[in-house]
Amino acid sequence: MNELASRTVDESRVEMTEIIMPNDGNPLGNAMGGRVMHWIDVCAAVCAGRHARTPVVTASVDNVDFHNPVPVGSVIVLLASVNFTGRTSMEIGVKVWQEERLTGDRKHVVSAYLTFVSLDPETRKPRPVPAIEPKTENEKRRCKEAAARRKARLS
C-alpha cells in the first residue's frame, strides 16, 4: 500500500497558455498537431511532477483526439490534472481550448490522456507516488474512468 500522504487534484492542476505563432502552423494556416501534442506533454509533465514532487517521464499517451483546428494567431489554453494514481504511475488528463480574445469564450480543441512514471532523482528508478484524493463528483468520475482505462491497458 502507498504510505505517502495523498494529495488533492487541485494541488497539482496546471493551466498553460500559448499563442499559435506562424512557426507553429501548417500549410493550411492552423496549428500543427505535433506542436499541440508537445505542449500537451509539457503541461502534463508539470502536473505529474507537481503531484509526485519528483522527476517524471512520459510512459504512454492515449486517445489524443483533435476536435477543431486552431488558426495561427489564436490563443490556446491547456488544462492538466491528475485523474488516477497507481503505485509509481499517474494518469494525467489534458484538455485544450481555443480562447476567443475578445470575449473569453472557449472552444474545445483537443483532449488527451498521458501516463507518467515518478522517478527517484538519484537512482532514476520508479518511485511510489502519493495517492490522488478526488473531491468533486467530476474528479471522482474521472478517477473511475481512468481506473477502467488502466485496467484495459494492462489486460
Q: Is the residue at 68 inside a domain?
A: yes
User: What is the average per-residue pLDDT within 106-130?
Assistant: 97
Domain that holds residue 145: 7-154
Confidence of residue 1 (pLDDT cuts 50, 70, 90): very low
Q: Is the residue at 47 inside a domain?
A: yes
Which residue, 36, 8, 9, is CA-closest to 98? 36
Q: Is the residue at 45 inside a domain?
A: yes
Q: What is the tens place of the pLDDT at every residue in 70-105?
A: 999 999 999 999 999 999 999 999 999 999 988 999
Q: Is the residue at 37 inside a domain?
A: yes
User: What is the number of structural domains in the chain?
Assistant: 1
Q: Is the residue at 2 inside a domain?
A: no
| Residue indicated by cell numbers 467530476 | 138
Q: How far apart are the first and last CA of the chain?
A: 21
Q: Is the residue at 11 inside a domain?
A: yes
Distance CA 76, CA 109 (A): 9
The CATH code of the domain that includes 58 is 3.10.129.10
Q: Is the residue at 1 inside a domain?
A: no
Q: What is the mean pLDDT of the chain?
A: 95
Q: What is the tens place of the pLDDT at every residue in 42-75?
A: 999 999 999 999 999 999 998 898 999 999 999 9
Q: Is the residue at 146 inside a domain?
A: yes
